[in-house]
Structure 1
Amino acid sequence: MTRGTRDETEARAGAREGGAPAVTTDGLPGWLDPVVEAARSVQPGQLSRFLPPEDGRGRQSAVLVLFGEGPRGPELLLMERAGTLRSHAGQPSFPGGALDPEDGDPHTTGPLRAALREAEEETGLDPSGVQLFGVLPRLYIPVSEFVVTPVLGWWRAPSPVGAVDPAETARVFTVPVADLTDPEHRVMAVHPRGHLGPAFTVESALVWGFTAGVIDRILHFAGWERPWDRSRQVPLDWRA
């Protein structure tokens, strides 16, 4: 059994036992089928070289990778973190954050609750309109020591969204998948320390780091990636 399948099975069981959000692929639009299949088969090392420490260190957290359908077709919901935050200030990201004790077990249904709770707190979306359909393997962000579970969702019934607390969120926006796969919007971000990583220039923002890495791998394993020029580089601000 693959990691993605195991997480989804555990989430289903937990939903039945504790009333957690269910994870189901029933009724999804056909264009999400490649993402569903990728989530079921992808291995942690195929997503990132940064994996959770074996000794259990790291703060458990979750993000909501929310797919919707807008005027230009499939799209993703993103937000831009406030520039005054201590961690990842001004950086575009998925809605999400650390698990609270009331979210429950971080190894089963806790990330599901946390992803929806944080998304509601940060963007104001109505969780009842979100259908969770998959869970990706846990990844690690060394700079902040977060162990992150990406939770996949379908925005079945879109609701109004916006920055709920300007001290945390600068803005909330959607990005058409067509723009994310457009080679003209793809670059390599160069960190001041010399690290390179995939990035996207979309919606007047440079999406880089953990968020861009997850998007890049989803596009790749879903078969949506188009050839692009990896020699195109954009330097990051020294404070990144």
Structure 2
Amino acid sequence: MPVDPSPHDARAQLAALAAGAGRALELARIRGLPVPADPRPAAVLILFGVLDSVRSAAQASTVSRDLDVLLLARARTLRSHAGQVAFPGGRVDPGDDGIVGAALREAREETGLNPAGVDVLGALDAIPLAHSEHMVTPVLAWWRHPSPVGVVDEAESSAVFRAPVADLLDPAHRGVTVVRRDGQEFRGPGFHVRHATGDHLVWGFTAMVLDALFDRLGWTEEWDATRELPLDLLGD
């Protein structure tokens, strides 16, 4: 059985990526996304950490089985992206201390996160979302002193959870999702997550960013890109 790589290795890899001269995720389907004419700035917090109580059962060879990432499930009553799994985040407000300040504020408001225990590693290049007219900047961070998190507003979120990265990388949990809109077909990566908060399907923007991030870090394990995960798999 392979020895789990240290979580500190993961932190170092994330820090190197955030500090690198080319911080774009460099994924064709991200580079080719249309740019909105007048986009609004937004930020998401991609927060990695280590928590023994969520130790993965997956036998990952590329990351520690203790490594996890903070995610939330949006409330099904929302008008936009109802029920989808997302990173904490939202629009940049005038009073925010830039992109990083917005990402930390949104994470605190949505999950109860204490930003004092978070080490911000850096921001990646912004990603255009023409459908919602936003330019979204992913902020990479490390959870130095994890704080309790949970649903703060049930009108906004139905679940807040720490997903083991080894489970996300497990080929048995991976596939593609297919969205058909206006006569066009959009295919993207998907992750089926089983957690104490319930079963979750990670797809769309969040899955696309995780997929690109895992590829850049060299964490991706070979998976079946022909396997479809239907969007109604979990009732979404």
TM-score scaled to structure 1, two decimals?
A: 0.80
Whether 1:223 and 2:204 are equivalent positions in the alignment is: no
Q: CA separation in 2, counterparts of 1:181 and 1:202?
A: 10
Q: In structure 2, do the counterparts of structure 1 residues 44 and 187 end up closer, same or farther at CA, with 3 Å as the change threshold?
A: closer
Which runs of structure 2 are paired with 1:157-176 in the superposition (5 Å)?
157-176=145-164
Whether 1:75 and 2:54 are equivalent positions in the alignment is: no
Deviating beyond 4 angstroms after TM superposition, the runs of 4 or more aligned structure 1 residues are: none
Residue 142 (structure 2) aligned to one of 144, 147, 154: 154
Q: CA separation in 1, counterparts of 2:27 and 2:227?
A: 23
Which runs of structure 2 are paired with 1:191-206 in the superposition (5 Å)?
191-193=179-181, 194-203=185-194, 204-206=199-201
Using the TM superposition, give the Cα deviation of residue 134 of structure 1 relative to its aligned residue in structure 2, in angstroms: 1.7
Using the TM superposition, give the Cα deviation of residue 35 of structure 1 relative to its aligned residue in structure 2, in angstroms: 2.5
Partner of 1:136 in structure 2?
124
- Equivalent residues of 1:38, 1:218 under 8 A apart: no
Q: CA separation in 2, counterparts of 1:129 and 1:235?
A: 37
Partner of 1:31 in structure 2?
10
Using the TM superposition, give the Cα deviation of residue 142 of structure 1 relative to its aligned residue in structure 2, in angstroms: 2.1
1:12-38: per-residue Cα shift (whole Å, max 9, x none)?
xxxxxxxxxxxxxxxx92222222333
Which runs of structure 2 are paired with 1:1-240 in the superposition (5 Å)?
29-39=8-18, 40=20, 41-43=22-24, 45-46=26-27, 48=30, 49-50=32-33, 52-53=35-36, 55=37, 57-71=38-52, 72=55, 73-104=66-97, 110-193=98-181, 194-203=185-194, 204-237=199-232
Q: CA separation in 2, counterparts of 1:156 and 1:52?
A: 35
TM-score scaled to structure 2, two decimals?
A: 0.82
Using the TM superposition, give the Cα deviation of residue 180 of structure 1 relative to its aligned residue in structure 2, in angstroms: 1.1
Using the TM superposition, give the Cα deviation of residue 146 of structure 1 relative to its aligned residue in structure 2, in angstroms: 1.6
Using the TM superposition, give the Cα deviation of residue 230 of structure 1 relative to its aligned residue in structure 2, in angstroms: 0.4
What SS does structure 2 have at the residue aligned with 1:164? Answer: coil
* Counterpart residue identity of residue 79, structure 1: L
Using the TM superposition, give the Cα deviation of residue 234 of structure 1 relative to its aligned residue in structure 2, in angstroms: 1.8
- Equivalent residues of 2:14, 2:121 under 8 A apart: no
Kindly, what percent of the aligned residue pairs are identical? 48
Greater fraction of residues in helix: 1
Q: Which moved more, 1:218-227 or 1:39-48?
A: 39-48
Q: Which moved more, 1:136-145 or 1:94-103?
A: 136-145
Q: CA separation in 1, counterparts of 2:203 and 2:46?
A: 15
- Equivalent residues of 2:112, 2:148 under 8 A apart: yes
- Equivalent residues of 2:47, 2:70 under 8 A apart: yes
Using the TM superposition, give the Cα deviation of residue 143 of structure 1 relative to its aligned residue in structure 2, in angstroms: 1.8
Cα RMSD (Å): 1.9
- Equivalent residues of 2:124, 2:139 under 8 A apart: yes
* Counterpart residue identity of residue 234, structure 1: L
* Paired positions, count: 205
